[in-house]
A and B are shown apart, each in its own frame.
Chain A
Amino acid sequence: MTEKLPYSVKFHPSDHAIVFAGSLRPSGKEELDPIYSCFSEALGEVSGVLYLNLKRLRQLNHTGFAHIAGLVRNVATARSDLKLKLIVSSVIPWAPPRFEHLAELWPNVTAEKYDRAFYPGQRVIDQDDFIPVLKSQNQLLWSHEKEYLRIHGLQSGMRVADVCCGTGEFAILLRKAFDPESVVAVDHSRRFLEYATNVVDEFQLDRVEYRFGDATHLLLLDDSFDFVTCRLSLEVFDRPEQIVRELFRICKPGGRVYVTNELMSHALGYPHEESIEAACHGLVGMFQQLGMDLDFGPKAAVYLKDEGLDDVRIDVIEINNTNSDVEEFVQVIESWIDVISGELAAATNQSAQAVEKMRSGFEDFIGAMRHRRGFAGWPIYIASGRKPDS
């Protein structure tokens, strides 16, 4: 019987890409025939550019690397008409230095850290400015969300994954309220994870583990969690289906995937409703420039269905100044004001006038919250779905 290879390699003609996955630690060339075949097939078909997608190659030994390097060298020297792009993930720590070195040797070879390109807003969101935003949002939402989590199937004793965990408060609150078997929380911001780890250490909490990871290529096993959450995050990626695919993959059959997202353009308030509406729409526009969709909320259910989840349920948390702690709500909006006035404005080339108009609109929003007869509302959409039994 032929032994199954621990790696896979496939040429995708429509993408001009050779995609590697798994663990490539051969003892010699005889285990690399599929790779040589793939290169041969690809070189017969592509022109212009050939991508080597190495994002999901978890391990690669020197022997495997030497052969890939040899193939790259052959292409680079024999096909000067062809550009070779090596796509790696910074989550696999050994991959960037190895392949970046190859890119230094031949002019028509480049290496790109995929997740840097995939997270266009990361440079903005990764700022310290965002820590208060995430903290205050979590605090405000938790009082509502813990009940919805129960409704959407979270129970004690479950294995939970929180993907795109940000500063990690949600994992801590969930751990305390639901007593899960464990919570594994993943984010692509080392700054946030450092913050989260310090909090867990300070609180001396066990069964909460923070990991650095790429939400589109998680290093978590298939079918390994009963409940998978991804909160206020699909909205900040321009290809959310790639994350939903991973949420589905790591969820156990019979388990549930749970996501929340905003519908920012439907946030409202009065008095000064026009000013508030303009500010909320302005914020949506700013994030759009970075490839993010703050109106993603109601669209999430379709993504869950498209991925194959069934029993998809939708709820809306209507945060407003009558059902929430007003000062916590105020803190959220104040944190938004700080962000739009700082890094976000710079990243999206906002004029001083536009920033001032938004700042003024959000101050009106705060005014509406505190007004004796005022109203301020912020809708958060929940969508969850069940992974069918295999």
Chain B
Amino acid sequence: MGIPVPSDHAFCIGENGDRDDGSVDNAIFAARFAIGGFASSFRHCEQVANYVAQFVTSNLPDPDRLNSMLSMGLNEILEMAYRYHGADGALNLLVKQPQSGEEGSSLQVVVGIPADSAALAAYDWCREQIGHAQAHNHYSNLVREGFESGPYKACLVELALIYRVHLAIKTEPSRGRATVTMVINTNQNEQ
């Protein structure tokens, strides 16, 4: 299932050039971080992921399971942002629960990241890996070789291919922004 790309008139968190797509209808959590402050400590990734996951899932069914899954997924996106970002701008984070029927029963996480050319290339690489016809074989090869050709940035590939999390990655070189959208099914009864 593809993730619908938010329309142009969608409300955007952030200001001016830092705005990212993502309607705040049904928003549960929204935050904006100066990228310099966010990237000043690797531990921020885990702290934010754990806090947001706890906050968002506390009133949802099976909160422990969903918390674990959301924290894991969001942490990977934030670690990617920590390693691949531009020098200035804001990291925007939005978590929402789409209306029933729009995405089934799910949580949508949108992370907008300021991105320089190296960062844009890393996000483009992830998108290409995920969308490749031989994506699973490529990922298996990455594991076999110890992730040497894709250190760190393979985290998003793993998220999409191994956890079957719906992931969309958009890069906008003209704005120097990358947006990662993750959709987690809240009714996964996988055992």
Binding site for B on A (CB under 8 A): 23, 25, 27, 58-63, 65-66, 69-70, 73, 90-94, 96-98, 101-102, 104-105, 113, 116, 190, 193, 197, 209, 211-213, 219
Alpha-carbon gap, A23 to B79, bound state (A): 15
| CB closest residue in chain A, given B144 | A105
For A25, A91, A92, which residue has the most chain B Cβ atoms within 10 angstroms?
A: A25
Q: Which of B143-163 contact A (CB under 8 A)?
A: 143-144, 146-147, 151-152, 154-155, 158, 162-163
Q: Is the CB of B69 within 8 A of A62?
A: no
Q: Is the CB of B79 within 8 A of A62?
A: yes
Q: Which of B32-48 contact A (CB under 8 A)?
A: 42, 45-46
- The answer, yes or no, to whether B188 is at the interface (CB within 8 Å) is yes
10 smallest A-B Cβ distances: which pairs? Answer: A62-B155, A27-B42, A70-B146, A66-B147, A90-B191, A94-B72, A219-B64, A93-B69, A97-B162, A25-B46
Residues of A within 8 A of B63 (CB): 209, 211
Could you mark each residue 65-89 of chain B with 1 if its beta carbon is under 8 Å from any beta carbon of chain A, else 0? Answer: 1001101100110010000000000
Extra contacts besides A59-B75, A211-B63 (17): CB < 8 Å: A25-B79, A58-B68, A59-B72, A66-B147, A73-B143, A93-B69, A94-B69, A94-B72, A96-B190, A97-B164, A190-B189, A193-B62, A211-B62, A211-B64, A212-B62, A212-B64, A219-B68
Other-chain contact of A101, B64, B162, B188 (Cβ < 8 Å): B162
Residues of A within 8 A of B152 (CB): 62-63
Q: Which of B113-158 contact A (CB under 8 A)?
A: 140, 143-144, 146-147, 151-152, 154-155, 158
Knowing A23-B46, A69-B143, A190-B191, say if A61 contacts B61 (CB, 8 Å).
no
Residues of A within 8 A of B151 (CB): 66
Q: Is the CB of B61 within 8 A of A197?
A: yes
Chain A nearest CB, measured from B100 CB (Å): 16
Other-chain contact of A66, B45, B64, B146 (Cβ < 8 Å): B146
Q: Is the CB of B143 within 8 A of A105?
A: yes
Alpha-carbon gap, A97 to B75, bound state (A): 18
For B75, B76, B191, which residue has the most chain A Cβ atoms within 10 angstroms?
A: B191
Residues of A within 8 A of B72 (CB): 59-61, 94
Residues of B within 8 A of A25 (CB): 45-46, 75, 79
A-B contact pairs, 15 of them (CB 8 A): A25-B79, A59-B72, A61-B75, A70-B147, A73-B146, A90-B190, A91-B65, A92-B68, A93-B68, A96-B190, A97-B162, A97-B164, A101-B143, A105-B143, A212-B64
| CB closest residue in chain A, given B162 | A97
Residues of B within 8 A of A93 (CB): 65, 68-69, 188, 190
Residues of A within 8 A of B76 (CB): 61-62
Knowing A70-B146, A73-B146, A102-B143, say if A59 contacts B191 (CB, 8 Å).
no
Other-chain contact of B163, A61, A94, A211, A212 (Cβ < 8 Å): A94
Other-chain contact of A61, B69, B143, B144, B155 (Cβ < 8 Å): B155
| CB closest residue in chain B, given A25 | B46
Alpha-carbon gap, A211 to B68, bound state (A): 13
Alpha-carbon gap, A91 to B69, bound state (A): 11
Alpha-carbon gap, A25 to B43, bound state (A): 9
For B45, B64, B144, B163, which residue has the most chain A Cβ atoms within 10 angstroms?
A: B64
Alpha-carbon gap, A101 to B147, bound state (A): 14
Q: Is the CB of A61 within 8 A of B79?
A: yes
Other-chain contact of B162, A58, A98, A212 (Cβ < 8 Å): A98
Alpha-carbon gap, A104 to B143, bound state (A): 11
